[in-house]
Structure 1
Amino acid sequence: MWNELILFPPFLFQIDHYAQRDLKKGLQLFGTEGNVGLTNAWMIVQTDFRCCGVTNHTDWFEVYNASRVPDSCCLEYSDNCGLDNPGTWWTAVSPLKLILVLFVFLLCSGFVVLALLHSD
């Protein structure tokens, strides 16, 4: 039983890595044709949770190939506020990162419980 628990933690980091990778792929679709729902979802999440990107605002730099972010990343929303004014962008850790950490913790806890139940 304990061997299973010792081998499991490396997989948790892979899950977190893959989840972040997939969310960042979603950033690439932001504002593209046919992805209005995804675009709106990112705008709502960033505005309501006061965050920017998956891990932080620099995630958007890869999307735009520039040091800019969507206007939904701005402390106070205005047209083109995400262009060249980093002082007006959300800089706190994204709740998406915190959600991923919580998910991985809960997943690990579930597997520990299953391993303990299985050993009886």
Structure 2
Amino acid sequence: MSKRWTFLFLIGLIVTLCSITILNKPTEKDFTLWLQEEYTIDCNKDCSIIELESGNGNITERIKLANGNGAFSPGLFTLHINRHYISLNDPNRIFSLEAIGFNGRFYKMNSENRIEKYGLLENRE
């Protein structure tokens, strides 16, 4: 009888943890807030156009970027966002932003041509 109760307790614990994780899955609105807090990026409603500051010495310029292509993958537990932005000022400059959301938080993913590589952002970790 002891093994049965242990098994039922473990199943109940797993179901509870899965339910909490599913309910805490971040949304696109959370992604927008994360961009503003982490990188001070302003974006429109769906972040198809973002605006960020680029510091060149003492001069700060505003750069607008338009969404070229990318992926939005809502999973059961996670939200994976991979976007490629093309600069409106210089179409030859392409920036990538990849993040995964899990349990109410977003984490940046390592990619070769992240926005930080171009010196446009400084991560505030």
Q: TM-score range by the shorter chain?
A: 0.3 to 0.5
The alignment's TM-score, normalised by the length of structure 2, stands at: 0.35
The alignment's TM-score, normalised by the length of structure 1, stands at: 0.36
Q: Which has the higher contact order (CA 8 A, sep 6+)?
A: 1
The structure with the greater share of residues assigned to helix is 1
The structure with the greater share of residues assigned to strand is 2
Q: Which has the larger radius of gyration?
A: 2
